[in-house]
Structure 1
Amino acid sequence: MSACNEMMLPERLKLKLGQHDLFDRVMALDGEVFRDVPGRKTIRVIIDEQPYFIKQHFGVGWSEIFKNLLAFKIPIVSASTEKLAIEKLGEIGIPTTPLAGFGARGCSPASRQSFLITRDLGDIISLETLADAWLINPPQARFKRQLLLAVAGLAANLHDSGLNHRDFYICHICLDKPALVDGEIRLYLIDLHRVGIRETIRPRDRMKDMAALYFSAMNAGLTVRDYLRFLQHYRQKPLKQIFKEEFQFWQQVQQRAIKLYIKLHRVEPTLAQIGAKLGANH
């Protein structure tokens, strides 16, 4: 296998898919389509009576690469970004979709093909779906507090380890429902194909992640106390110290979140939705 080609598949999957032309066989698999965008498709398949998700990357083309570079963005040209993110999350103790296979073919970044196979997480619910249900049936205060602190801990671990998600919305944080029956709040971070990995997270990357999280939680019925509790747990500092040292940063987070809300909903969020307006005279 050349330096540009990679293949990682367990023997049981090789036996089910066939020993020859494995890469082509995986790229040709059909299943329930969860996402289908230019150059990339996500499907759910059953192999050997086990459910898997397969992300197939077919090549992005030079135009997409140049468009990203001109916008000062790192182009995502293969599934290797998500593979590395899964491995890194495993190292720092953040549960995610378990890696079951990976393959890549081709040296050119524009035409490089790849796939990522992950095991289905089973009975989970996204925090976005959960928050939507809260509009009709508000959660118990204790459960909401525990969940809020769990999300804050996940975010802190992610960012303090040098990672930024780049799509850090609550729809990409999922709750394990069977674990919840046993009294455990177990969260999974998913959709990792754009994750950035560095020794230390850049302030702007942290700000964008937190703004996305803030924006996506605006309709969850959070109170000012909820927001402050989250902030204190995320930063592990007294609130007075946070606002003294980081006020401008959190003001940027809120301003960006409000802009995202207006862009999507064509209306400004209410004061209740944002918790409290951070002004220059706070």
Structure 2
Amino acid sequence: MRKWWINPQYASSEAGERFGDIDHVFALDGETMAQDSLSRVLRVGVGGKRYYVKRYTGNGKNLRRRWFGLRRWLGPPRVRAEWRNLLAFRAWGIPTATLVAYGLERRFGGFLRGALVTEEIPDTMDLAYLAQSNDPRLADRAWLTQVSRQIARLTRTLHDAGFAHNDLKWRNLLVDGGPSPTVYLIDCPSGNYYRGTILEYRIVKDLACLDKLASKTLSRSQRLRFYLAYTRNSRLDNGDRQRIAKIVGFFDGRD
């Protein structure tokens, strides 16, 4: 069984032809941007634009379950979670990559392969690269304030929906080169919905992922202003202080 979807905006274009079905997508050649045991990401040029093609041939990172062959039938495929989450971000007003095509193939009810194609967001870099390269924009107070507030707002939007990204690191946040920068959230195959104490734990994890590099790049006052923007409050209460302690200590002994 195959399911494949093309964004109507691209259906009659050269991109629509190149990404028209799952066989075409798995036959593509391009520049390998990332690869692991589950997926491979290619960058492909079509009609003067560049696209990212993420192809999955595995489902899940639990080696034991994959070894016994159970992961093909247990739980939603990661590729489906990834396109579902990108569609949710757009519905919530969070800037993200435009989905061009996506779908999957099953055999005898088990996951066989899947893929999604997104258009490249031009003139963007991820925040982790900016930090590693000591980009001067990180020392620009006005620029940093705009970026920090956008990240706080989009993170709060996720959490208000009962959703946690689960890998909310600087490398998954792109920022463009305009004078009024826009932040884009990308790459979310492991994000999901939670409730109660599990949601709170996942919220702490998301905020800790953001703070991991922020603690090495930003001042304490800048990090505090981000947290206050996230909570939409002007000062901390006891609950905030307890959560901050969990955020700061989240990765202790894990690295």
TM-score category, normalised to shorter length: 0.7 to 0.9
Kindly tell me: are residues 109 and 48 of structure 1, through their superposed partners in 2, closer, same or farther at Cα, counting changes over 3 Å? Answer: farther
The residue correspondences of 1:259-278 to structure 2 (distance < 5 A) are 259-260=253-254, 263=255
Matches within 5 A, 1:188-267: 188-198=184-194, 202-220=199-217, 222-241=218-237, 244-260=238-254, 263=255
Q: Per the alignment, in what secondary structure is the counterpart of residue 50 of structure 2?
A: strand
Change in Cα spacing, 1:11 to 1:161, as seen in structure 2 (3 Å) is: same
Instruction: Give the residue type in structure 1 aligned to 2:54.
Output: K
Alpha-carbon spacing, 1:117–1:15, altered in 2? closer, same or farther (3 Å) = closer
Alignment partner, residue 147 of structure 1? 147
SS for the counterpart of 1:219 is helix
Shift of 1:146: 2.5
Query: Rg larger in 1 or in 2?
Result: 1
CA contact (8 A) 1:65 1:75 kept: no
* SS at 1:38 equivalent: coil
- Corresponding letter in the other structure for 1:237: N
- The equivalences for 1:19-38 within 5 A come to 22-38=21-37
CA distance in 2, matches of 1:169, 1:113: 27
Alignment TM-score, normalising by the size of structure 2: 0.84
- DSSP 3-state at the match of 2:215: coil
1:35 Cα deviation from its structure 2 partner:
1.0
User: In the alignment, what sits opposite 1:115?
Assistant: 115
Do the aligned residues in 1 keep the contact of 2:152 with 2:230 (CA within 8 Å)?
yes
Q: Does structure 1 retain, via aligned residues, the 8 Å contact 2:15–2:47?
A: no
The answer as to 2:82 corresponding to 1:82 is yes
RMSD across aligned C-alpha pairs, in angstroms? 2.9
- Give the direction of change, closer, same or farther, for the CA distance of 1:18–1:121 in structure 2 (3 Å limit): closer
Structure 2: runs of 5 or more not aligned: 68-73
Q: Which amino acid counterpart does residue 86 of structure 1 have in structure 2?
A: L
Gaps of 5+ in 1: 69-73, 264-282
Q: Distance in 2 between matches of 1:98 and 1:166?
A: 21
What per-residue deviation string (whole Å, max 9, x for no partner) do you get for residues 225-255 of structure 1?
Answer: 11211111100123232xx123322211110
In structure 1, C-alpha distance between the alignment counterparts of 2:15 and 2:136, rounded to whole Å: 47
User: Aligned partners of 2:61 and 2:172: how far apart in 1?
Assistant: 29
8 A contact 2:147–2:182 mirrored in 1: no
1:12 is aligned to 13
Count of residues paired in the alignment: 244
Letter in 1 for 2:100: A
Could you tell me how far apart the structure 2 residues matched to 1:54 and 1:213 are? 26
Task: Judging by fraction of residues, say which structure has more strand.
Answer: 2
| Deviation readout 1:186-240 (Å, 9 max, x if unpaired) | 00011112121357871111111111111122221x2221121111110012323
Cα distance, 1:247–1:138 mapped onto 2, change above 3 Å: closer
Q: CA deviation at 1:140?
A: 2.2
CA contact (8 A) 1:104 1:115 kept: yes
* 139 and 102 in structure 1: CA distance in 2 versus 1, 3 angstrom threshold: same
| 1:53 matches 2:47 | no
**The 10-residue stretch of structure 1 (249-258 or 25-34) with the greater mean CA deviation from structure 2:** 249-258
